[in-house]
């Protein structure tokens, strides 16, 4: 591809980003050097602004020199450059993956409309092979996207061979750095790039293009699966009374696809296929309540419904009510509003406190009825066992006046015309979790 064709191609791809702020992920290597040079020249023509970010991983003894090189290049192009140092922590993943995670954390903090990355067709082919080696599914083999709106990433060179980038760089006299780690074939990507793909391509010259095309087809399949999951989510309605029954009515692949979709929508992550399949089995076979932690979410089932909630719930902090309209409670709030009548409590600011249950609590919801055990009230209110110890309780001395979601102590309620306080527990509600507009109990 002639250098002028590459420029024209990129101009057409970025024309829709006029008046937007583009930030190039600039490592100083060949690929990102070409991308930054192209965008700096196209910015006045296309109407977007360009900046750059160099992520300083600190993994090489040459890292400081690389950052200085990037600063010189950016200055020569009149492009603003930020250098961000990151800490690469390898915990349960390889060095490559850990460094990539650190980069994306840095990208997420940039004040711009899009992060523009220099991945090319060869990178896409490597990604497909790498993920196939790991046994990934359709979404994984779909590989990188030219436009990733969730993470604000653009990859305008994704269908361009590296040879075209090298030709552009040499024609323009560009200088770039060579990362010595790129020759280390102990790293899987380098092994694929240096040992596998050249041998395979010698037998099948169109291999790289075919793998990139396959990635596009897999990405289409992944999109269709996502659309199906979105429709199933509307019909199954996680959190609703019969959602678990509706989930069990789906075929296993379709139910697994729905759970994956819900997890990605909730936290951007999905567990391995085997772990997800085992979680689905436990969910569908559970006779009692179940809470399974998957990545950053917990998959919960109680009676005939299922939902997702945060894996780690905020701890409630006991406190004294001083007349505030609301007080934080764990991952929710307890609200207070003046009211009259038998559903309002006879309380005064400073005289009551909010805390968790101590054990053995009983409550008399009706003046002419018996006191009821906490466990019985929680079962009738459909509160899962793992949520019960975190319910807010309103205490006045040693007297229990109210339990969030369960009810009030009738002996502490106001007379019909007496002024008091209505107390409502509003638990945090996430997408896919049971919705609660506020429990006025």
Q: How far, in Å, are 102, 108, 126 from residue 223 at the CA level?
A: 27, 24, 22
Q: Which residues contact 22 (CB under 8 A, 6 or more apart)?
A: 14, 39, 48, 49, 50, 51, 112, 113, 114, 116, 154
Q: What does the pLDDT look like over 132-158, one tens digit per residue?
A: 988 888 988 888 899 998 889 999 999
Residue 63, domain member (yes or no): yes
Q: Can you say how many angstroms the Cα of residue 24 is from the centroid of all Cα atoms in its chain?
A: 23
DSSP secondary structure code for residue 323 in this structure: S
What's the pLDDT at 141?
87
The two beta strands, 49-56 and 80-85, are: parallel
230 occurs within a structural domain: no
Do 295 and 269 form a contact (C-beta atoms < 8 A)? Answer: yes
Encoded tokens for 336:
């207070």
Report the percentage of the chain scoring pLDDT > 90: 65
Same domain, 337 and 410: yes
Counted domains in the chain:
3
Residue 92: per-residue pLDDT:
64
367 and 285 in a common domain: no
Instruction: Give me the pLDDT at residue 369, please.
Output: 86
Same domain as 186, residue 39: yes
Please enumerate, by residue number, every residue annotated as part of a binding site for ATP: 27-32
pLDDT (0 to 100) of residue 439: 39
Strands 353-355, 393-396: pairing is antiparallel
pLDDT of 165 higher than 60: yes
Give the CATH number, domain containing residue 47.
3.40.50.620
* Contact yes or no for 426/436 (Cβ under 8 A): yes
Same domain, 211 and 253: no
Per-residue pLDDT tens digits for 276-299: 999 999 998 888 889 999 988 999
Query: Residue 431: what pLDDT?
Result: 31
Quick one: pLDDT at residue 413?
94
Average pLDDT, the chain: 90
Domain check: are 251 and 122 in the same one? no
173-186 confidence digits (pLDDT tens): 999 999 888 888 88
Structural domain including 353 reads 319-427
The token duo for 28 is 């100083």
Nearest 5°: phi and psi at 411? -70, -15
What is the CB neighbour count within 10 angstroms for residue 338? 10
Residue 441 lies in a domain: no
Query: What CATH number does residue 255 fall under?
Result: 3.30.465
Q: How confident is the model at residue 438, as a pLDDT?
A: 35
Q: Is residue 42 situated within a structural domain? A: yes
What per-residue confidence (pLDDT) applies to 410? 93
What is the pLDDT, as a whole number, of residue 181?
A: 83
- C-alpha 66: how far from its chain's center? 32
Averaged pLDDT, 105-122: 94
Q: What is the mean pLDDT of residues 21-50?
A: 96
Mean pLDDT on 369-394: 91
- Kindly state whether residue 54 falls inside one of the protein's structural domains: yes
Binning pLDDT at 50, 70 and 90, where does residue 4 land? Answer: low
| 186: CB partners within 8 A, 6+ apart | none
Same domain, 192 and 258: no
Tokens 């060949």, residue located: 30
> Does the residue 432 lie in any domain?
no
In a domain, 8, yes or no: yes
Residue 220 covered by a domain: no
> CB count, 10 Å around CB of 211?
22
Q: Please determine, for residue 17, whether its predicted confidence score (pLDDT) is greater than 50.
A: yes
Mean pLDDT to the nearest integer, 218-223:
93
Known binding-site residues equal 27-32
The reply to whether 30 and 73 lie within a common domain is yes
Kindly give, in sequence order, each residue whose CB lies less than 8 Å from that of residue 98, ignoring residues fewer than 6 positions away.
88, 89, 90, 91
Residues 291 and 327 in one domain: no
Q: Which two tokens stand for residue 329?
A: 């409670």
Distance CA 419, CA 151 (A): 52
Q: Are residues 276 and 388 in the same domain?
A: no
């Amino acid at each position: 591809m002639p250098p002028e064709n590459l420029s024209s191609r990129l101009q057409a791809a970025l024309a829709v980003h006029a008046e937007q702020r583009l930030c190039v992920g600039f490592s100083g290597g060949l690929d990102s050097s070409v991308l930054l040079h192209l965008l700096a020249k196209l910015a006045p023509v296309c109407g977007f602004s360009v900046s750059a970010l160099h992520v300083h991983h600190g993994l090489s003894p040459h890292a400081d020199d690389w950052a200085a090189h990037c600063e010189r290049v950016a200055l020569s192009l009149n492009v603003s450059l930020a250098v961000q140092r990151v800490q690469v922590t390898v915990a349960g993943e390889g060095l490559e993956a850990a460094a990539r995670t650190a980069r994306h954390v840095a990208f997420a903090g940039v004040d711009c409309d899009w992060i523009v990355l220099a991945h090319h067709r060869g990178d896409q082919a490597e990604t497909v092979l790498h993920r196939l080696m790991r046994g990934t599914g359709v979404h994984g083999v779909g590989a990188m996207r030219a436009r990733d709106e969730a993470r604000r990433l653009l990859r305008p060179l994704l269908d361009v061979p590296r040879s075209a980038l090298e030709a552009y760089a040499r024609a323009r006299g560009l200088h770039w750095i060579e990362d010595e780690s790129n020759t280390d074939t102990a790293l899987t990507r380098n092994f694929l790039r240096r040992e596998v793909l050249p041998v395979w391509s010698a037998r099948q010259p169109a291999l790289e293009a075919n793998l990139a095309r396959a990635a596009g087809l897999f990405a289409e399949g992944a999109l269709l699966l996502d659309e199906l999951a979105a429709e199933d989510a509307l019909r199954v309605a996680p959190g609703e009374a019969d959602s678990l029954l509706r989930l069990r009515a789906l075929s296993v692949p379709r139910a697994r696809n729905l759970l994956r979709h819900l997890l990605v929508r909730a936290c951007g992550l999905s567990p391995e296929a085997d772990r997800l399949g085992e979680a689905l089995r436990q969910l569908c076979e559970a006779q009692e309540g179940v809470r399974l932690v998957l990545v950053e979410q917990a998959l919960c089932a109680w009676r005939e419904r299922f939902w997702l909630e945060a894996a780690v719930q905020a701890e409630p902090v006991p406190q004294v009510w001083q007349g505030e309209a609301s007080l934080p409670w764990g991952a929710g709030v307890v609200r207070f509003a003046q009211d009259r009548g038998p559903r309002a409590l006879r309380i005064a600011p400073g005289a009551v406190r909010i805390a968790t249950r101590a054990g053995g609590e009983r409550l008399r919801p009706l003046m002419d009825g018996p006191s009821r055990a906490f466990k019985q009230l929680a079962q009738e209110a459909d509160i899962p066992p793992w949520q019960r110890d975190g319910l807010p309780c309103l205490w006045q001395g040693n007297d229990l006046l109210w339990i969030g979601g369960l009810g009030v102590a009738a002996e502490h309620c106001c007379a019909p015309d007496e002024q008091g306080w209505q107390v409502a527990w509003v638990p945090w509600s996430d997408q896919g979790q049971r919705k609660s507009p506020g429990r006025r109990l």
